[in-house]
Amino acid sequence: MLARRNPQLNAHGELIHLLSIEGLPRAILTQILDTAGTFLSVNDRDVKKVPLLRGKSVFNLFFENSTRTRTTFEIAAKRLSADVINLDIAKSSASKGESLLDTIANLSAMHADMFVVRHSESGAPYLIARHCAPHVHVVNAGDGRHAHPTQGLLDMYTIRHYKKSFNELTVAIVGDIVHSRVARSDIHALTTLGVPEIRAVGPKTLVPGDLRDMGVRVCHDMREGVKDADVIIMLRLQNERMSGAMLPSAGEYFKSFGLTEDLLALARPDAIVMHPGPINRGVEIDSRVADGSHSVILPQVTFGIAVRMAVMSILAGNDA
Amino acid sequence: MTNLLLDAEQLYGELRSGVARLLSPDTVLVGIWSGGAWLAQRLNADLKTGRPVGTISSTLHRDDFGERGLGAVEATTSLPFEIDGARILLIDDVVASGRTIRAVVNELFDYGRPASVELAVLVDRGGRELPIAPAFAAAKLTLPATQRLSLARGTDGRFTFAVKETT
């Protein structure tokens, strides 16, 4: 049997789709982070635009709503001079019964060059990447519980920006790890970049022991989880978990796993606090921490645009 | 790889004299990454301009992005002065097709509207594909299109030229 190539890479090992951080070599992750650094400086110019994607059409296909992620992808594509078309598929063809691949075939006939895909089904972006024309690039903007690679990369950019290197860090990821595509992408990226200690922190229902298979240390006690951490990544507690009886109540959760100033004091004095947003104040994070001096939640948003510019421009420069 | 009869240090001396003649009291030097940036830094120190020196990269404006891709991005633009109304002297090691100059001029205009932009180079190797002419070139020579000329900087800061055959 032929060894199956990673569908994200061409025969030269260059990135042609970004579907998941899992399986990408460290050199590619580093290339994306380095390139993002260049794009960050575009914000300092009078003209916040570079012509790398001039004449290209980027289609934002959001089968699942996400205003923030869609907006940052849109800004990134526009700063690269691409034409951006936003399709709110949740409200259009799919609800009329069109299949995913028919939708893609139609959009390809409109000469799309890149699809940015958000879908509630894990693996949907893979399906699209497999069936689209060879010149078309696919970026996964979050699929089911599986992956959210650009969020993972912007988290890595943020960590590198503040901590300079990954080699000696302790990173605690706190909250609903089992349902979180962000956590999954972060864990793969942190592992590839050489972080020695990654902790998954939360209640047993949301942080099951088999997460140890991913090479993380599982903690069901918040004090133990954040102790001496260099980086604390808080995840949003999704309300539907509460209704699903996996948790007692938001108030109970905050008492056990909400990040407060007292808990933060157990981490390293120069620890940074991250969150992919949107934050639930008083549920997973105390307002004083979210707005405090350790919080880098808003810089994450700024870095996210540069990282997405880097991903799109690297993909556009590589042929299948 | 041959070293050719091109003494980079001697040419640098000529470039320094040429640039000294082009400088007005408010000219700022901007070196094109990477060879031009080394030259601009050394010129700025040797000519004691007393002004900051800029570095500019063509990466984000190249016209061959479609064929070459982004590659490794080490080059970044740093222009630590006001561009609006500035008199800018671009410095590069080699000018050939002129496409790099076109790209960096575009990059420059993303930061503002300079009063003037001129170009000084160590070597003009001909083969222009755009209407671009340096105000000063320390040497003019003709090389076969298959040869690539590039400046190298030793650990002692001294310059040498290398010619590589490309296929």
Write out pLDDT tens, residues B63-95: 787 777 776 566 778 899 999 999 999 999 999
- What angle separates helix A149-163 from helix A181-192, to the nearest 10 degrees? 50
CB pairs under 8 A between A and B: 47
First to last CA, chain B: 13
Query: Which residues of chain A make contact with B69, given a CB cutoff of 8 A?
Result: 14, 314, 317-318
The number of helices, as runs of H, and strands, as runs of E, in chain B is 4, 7
Query: pLDDT, tens digit, for every residue of A97-132?
Result: 778 888 889 898 999 999 999 999 999 999 999 999
Is the bond leading into B80 cis (omega within 30 degrees of zero)? Answer: no
Amino acid at A255: K
Q: Considering chain A, what is the average pLDDT of its residues?
A: 92
**For tokens 């031009």, what's the residue?**
B36
* Residue B166: other Cβ atoms inside 10 A: 7
Interface test with A, best of B56, B61, B65 (most A CBs within 10 A): B65
First to last CA, chain A: 22
pLDDT given at position B3: 47
pLDDT given at position A229: 98
CB of B161 closer than 8 Å to CB of B4: yes
Residues 6+ apart with CB under 8 A from A165: none
Q: Which of A118, A36, A137, A126 is nearest to A69 (CA)?
A: A118
ipTM: 0.71
Q: What pTM, to 2 d.p., does this model score?
A: 0.87
Amino acid at B155: T
Q: Which of A41, A47, A52 sits opposite B76 (nearest CB)?
A: A41
Cβ density class A182-206: b for 16+ within 10 Å, e for less: bbbbbbbbbbbbebebbbbbbbeeb
Is the bond leading into A108 cis (omega within 30 degrees of zero)? Answer: no
Q: How far is B37 from chain A (nearest CA, A)?
A: 17
Dihedral over alpha carbons B55, B58, B61, B63 (to 10 degrees): 170
* Dist. CA A89–CA A87, nearest whole Å: 5
* Dist. CA B70–CA B7, nearest whole Å: 33
Inter-chain CB proximity A38 and B76 less than 8 Å: yes
CB of B90 closer than 8 Å to CB of B132: no
